[in-house]
A and B are shown apart, each in its own frame.
Chain A
Amino acid sequence: MVRMVARKIRRAAIATIGAVGVGLALVALFLLSWTPQNSDDYESLHITILLVNIAGVIVLFILMVGNLAKLLRDYRSHVPGSKLKARVVGMFVGLAVLPLLVVFYFSIQFINSGIDSWFNIDVEEGLDEALALSQAALGIQMRDHLTTTAQIADRLQDVSARQLIFELSMLRRESGASEISIFGRNSRIIATSSDQSAGSLPKPLTDEVLLQISQGRPFVILDPVESGNYEIRAAVPFGNLNRPEFAGVIQALYPVPERISMMANSVEASNSDYKRAAYIREPLKRNFSLTLTVVLMLSLLSSIYGAFILSRRLVAPIQDLVAGTRAVAKGDFDTRLPTPSRDEIGFLINSFNDMTQRLSSAHREASLSQALVEAERANLAVILDRLSTGVVALESDFRIRNANAASGAILNVDLESRIGEYLPDVAKGQPLLDQFVDVARVHLNAGETEWREQIVLRGEVGRRVLTCACTTLPGDEDHAAGYVVVFDDITALLQAQRDAAWGEVARRLAHEIKNPLTPIQLSAERMRRKYLHTLPAEEAQVLDRATHTIVQQVEAMKEMVNAFSDYARAPDIDVNKFDIGKLVHEVVDLYRAQESDIRIILKTDSNLPEIEADAGRVRQIMHNLLRNAVEALEHTENGRIEVDVTSAEVHDVEVVDIVVADNGPGFHSKSLSQIFEPYVTSKPKGTGLGLAIVKKLVEEHAGTIDAINPADGGALIRIQLPVNETARGQMIARLPGRAEIRRERA
């Protein structure tokens, strides 16, 4: 606001100074044209004005040269707007200079021919002849008066001194002279007669009269007098025969008649005026030309300088516009240009400002939405990263567009690091991913883009069950339509469901079957006791066999129900700190004592830590594992069981690693993945609950259990139990597999 006001004030000041300057120049020009006609007091003023104007011309010239040099410099260095400025200046100069020069040329011509036309050869000749005529006419009179004077001199020659004055006066009156004087030697007045009043001195002899008389020549001239009239002065030598001392000069003055004097004056004045005018003709012309030239130069240079100013004002907003456009092109959308006026240029600049404002806000919005998108993407990435569900986005040609960490963990391949690669290529040598790709490809090749399926992948360590859903991704400019496959590893879930179901079965069995077993057994025993000895021997034998079978089978059934009961029951864990090495020793020693034909080799670390766990359950785990091994070695010669207890760190978690291996027939490879499920057994005997219970107990301690058939034969079960509560917490927090991948990435 303040700047605008300041600019307005400055503009007004410049306009005022300009107007005053132009006014002064006009006044100076007017005075310049006026002074030659008014001759009295303006000489110095005229000179001053002329000099001021010339100074003005010089100043304007310097300004013009400066502007021209700047324009040339700008033009050569391609300053924006300089070409337009040059064109505008050129146009203005062309418009101003040509008419001015034409006017100047014709004015000079008019002045010269106009002034020349005042002078005419005929007039000059006429005036000269009139002058000559007047001279001739007066010359006759002069000769007449000279003659008269000579006659007077003759007549006075004999006159006595006494008579001289009288005679002189008489002769003067006769001759019509206004004064006659007789001068003696040394120009002394001897006698004089005048028509003037007495007392006035006669006109003295001049040097030239004396000179001429001394040469013996008479003297006659036409003499202009103070009154403006003429008189004829004639002088002749005078010698008085009677009075030699009177020898001298007679000078007579004859007035020229007033009318003739006037006419003569008029002729003379006309002649003089004409000559004077002719004399000042050239200076006058030169003056006019000079004045005109100064006027021309002032006008010309003013108009050229004006053209520069005008072009600058005209081009300035355009230059602003160019600069603004460049700034916008460079990405500076906050450029605002000052509005110069309310004309079309002003409108243009307002439009430009509008445009930049809109661009600016659009840019801001775009940045904002980009930031939002980035934030969303980051959020999504975090969510995807934390998701336990695997998400893989594929291009239509099976290249990986995106994949989260869980997908890698589930499929056992770090997919995140292979984004952009062709999925079937990535799947080479990766059995899980390969199967996954095969399933997906079958669907997609069949043209099914939306499908949902539960798939089972078989790997080296077991099978994995995935629920898998696929849908198409909308395509955009950068990406063709692709697919997103979402899958969950539900192996553990299914296992848990199965475990829960078995637990329920076991509980019901225990409840529903165990209760009638005792009465059955008791009844069978009672029956046997009561009737065995009463029956004949053959029948007693049948009864004995039957009751024996009943009791035996009930026992077996009880045993089975107890096992189920063990499996199903979930009493609280009684955690204590104990020496696991010692515990394993005790159990192994028990079996060593029972099974003498099986060699049991026990290896324990000397620095095994004390473990925080339920000692009873750990004992049961060892019992079950050893029994399982012993049972497996029933038909094996040189049976051998190796028990290996070590402390280890798995994924930063401190664990006790227990391995029980035998050299028996090993697990059925078909049931290897389900070996820990109830009623999955490779043995003819047994409830099929031993390993299921072991697994349950291990999981109650947040431990892990694996069963494999080692390459050199036999079976191997590995258990890892966390050593304390902290380690247990850490184990719970991790899922096997995923943790491994994370560690690698970190």
Chain B
Amino acid sequence: MLAMAAGILTAGSLAAQQLPERQGFFDIRSASTVLNNGVHELEARLQLILSDEALDALNSGVPLTIELEFEVIRVRGFWLDASDADLTFQYELEYRPLSQRYLVRNLNSGDQDTFSTLYSALNNLGRIQGLPVIDDAVLGADNRYRLRLRARLSTRQYPSALRLLFFWRGQWQLESEWYEWSLER
């Protein structure tokens, strides 16, 4: 009886281990900001490789949400650094079976683009250009700042049954390392 219960408890992880799959990974290749008309704009190159499970979900009509987390950290000499701003950019990647196209939607602005292949969709997602992130006026002129960026697969919007599945499965824990650079003005 107990063995049975233990078996059921670990069923999720066992099922996950049974599939020889691509694990997927998110990586930030480069990131920088450019000051343009008093606004710092983000330029970044991301490598987004989805795991097989995420692909399965995508092809089964589950939209994936990819989040870009951007943080402005004020460097302090004799104290812990302070996080002055914290921005999240959300992109939704969805497969539309009727048009057989991958749709990338910027959830912040509502803009969307469609792509015939997942590769081009992810490629498009991975090329951030001129994304205004912070007004230079709000930054202290004499302060030094560190900026950092990471990308991750968000599962917050999904049905809880799926999210529980995600909890048990490593393939859904797609998250890049923080990419950090200094603000140059």
Contact = CB atoms under 8 A, between A and B. Distances in A.
A480 interface: no
Contacts of B103: 224
B160 A39 contact: yes
Interface string B149-165: 00000011011111111
B8 A230 contact: no
B164 A47 contact: yes
Interface centre among A43, A101, A278, A294 (most CB of B within 10 A): A43
A271 B60 CA distance: 9
B1 interface: yes
Nearest to B160: A39
Interface in B127-168: 155-156, 158-165, 167
A226 interface: yes
A39 B99 contact: no
A135 B97 CA distance: 9
Contacts of B98: 131, 134-135, 138, 222, 230, 264-265, 267-268, 271
B56 interface: yes
Interface in A125-160: 131, 134-135, 138
B101 interface: yes
A282 B161 CA distance: 9
27 contacts: A35-B160, A36-B164, A43-B156, A43-B163, A43-B167, A46-B164, A47-B164, A47-B167, A131-B97, A131-B98, A134-B98, A135-B98, A138-B98, A221-B101, A222-B101, A230-B98, A271-B61, A275-B97, A276-B61, A278-B60, A280-B162, A283-B12, A283-B162, A287-B164, A290-B9, A293-B5, A293-B9
B99 A230 contact: yes
Given A46-B164, A275-B60, A287-B160, 6 more contacts: A54-B9, A134-B98, A224-B101, A230-B99, A271-B97, A278-B60
Given A221-B114, A289-B11, A42 B60 contact: no
Contacts of A278: 60
A272 interface: yes
In the A-B complex, list the 6 residue pairs whose CB atoms are closest, starting with the nearest.
A272-B61, A279-B60, A283-B165, A268-B98, A222-B99, A284-B161
Contacts of B156: 43
Interface residues of B, number: 39
Contact of B115 (A35, A208, A272, A282): A208
B45 interface: no
Contacts of B122: none
Interface in B81-116: 96-101, 103, 110-116
B164 A226 contact: no
A36 B114 contact: no
B11 to A, nearest CB: 6
Contacts of A101: 1
B57 interface: yes
B120 interface: yes
Nearest to A57: B5
A39 B163 contact: yes
A256 B61 CA distance: 23
Interface in B1-40: 1-2, 5, 8-9, 11-12, 15
B62 interface: yes
Interface in A274-316: 275-276, 278-280, 282-284, 286-287, 289-290, 293-294, 296-297, 300
Contact of B159 (A39, A221, A230): A39
A267 B98 CA distance: 8
A547 B12 CA distance: 167
Interface of B: 1-2, 5, 8-9, 11-12, 15, 56-57, 60-62, 96-101, 103, 110-116, 120, 155-156, 158-165, 167
B160 A46 contact: yes
Contacts of A42: 160
A38 interface: yes
A226 B110 contact: yes
Nearest to B155: A43
A207 interface: yes
Contacts of A37: 160
A36 B1 contact: no
A293 B100 CA distance: 41
B11 A286 contact: yes
B75 to A, nearest CB: 32
A58 to B, nearest CB: 11
Interface in A215-253: 221-226, 230
Contact of B61 (A135, A225, A273): A273
A260 to B, nearest CB: 11
A587 to B, nearest CB: 126
A322 B101 CA distance: 82
A269 B99 CA distance: 12
A54 B99 CA distance: 46
A293 B160 contact: no
A287 B161 contact: yes
Nearest to A47: B167
A226 B57 CA distance: 23
Interface string A555-578: 000000000000000000000000
A131 B62 CA distance: 17
Nearest to B164: A287
B97 A268 contact: yes
B120 A207 contact: yes
Given A276-B61, A286-B165, A293-B8, A226 B112 contact: yes
A208 B120 contact: yes
A273 B60 CA distance: 9
Contact of A286 (B5, B12, B61, B159): B12
B122 to A, nearest CB: 13
Interface in A347-389: none
Contacts of B165: 280, 283, 286-287
A279 B8 contact: no
B109 to A, nearest CB: 10
B101 A276 contact: no
Contact of B57 (A135, A206, A267, A279): A279
B133 to A, nearest CB: 24
A112 B156 CA distance: 26
A285 to B, nearest CB: 9
Contacts of A224: 96, 99, 101, 103, 112, 114
Contact of B158 (A39, A135, A296): A39
Contacts of B8: 289-290, 293
Interface string A46-59: 11000000100000
A208 B164 contact: no
A281 to B, nearest CB: 9
Contacts of A284: 161
Contacts of A131: 97-98
A280 B116 contact: no
A268 B161 CA distance: 23
Nearest to B163: A43
A275 B62 CA distance: 9
B9 A279 contact: no
Contact of A275 (B5, B61, B112): B61
Nearest to B96: A224
A10 to B, nearest CB: 33
A594 to B, nearest CB: 135
Contact of A280 (B2, B101, B161): B161
- Point out which of A61, A224, A282 has the most chain B C-beta atoms below 10 A from its C-beta: A224
Contacts of B163: 39, 43
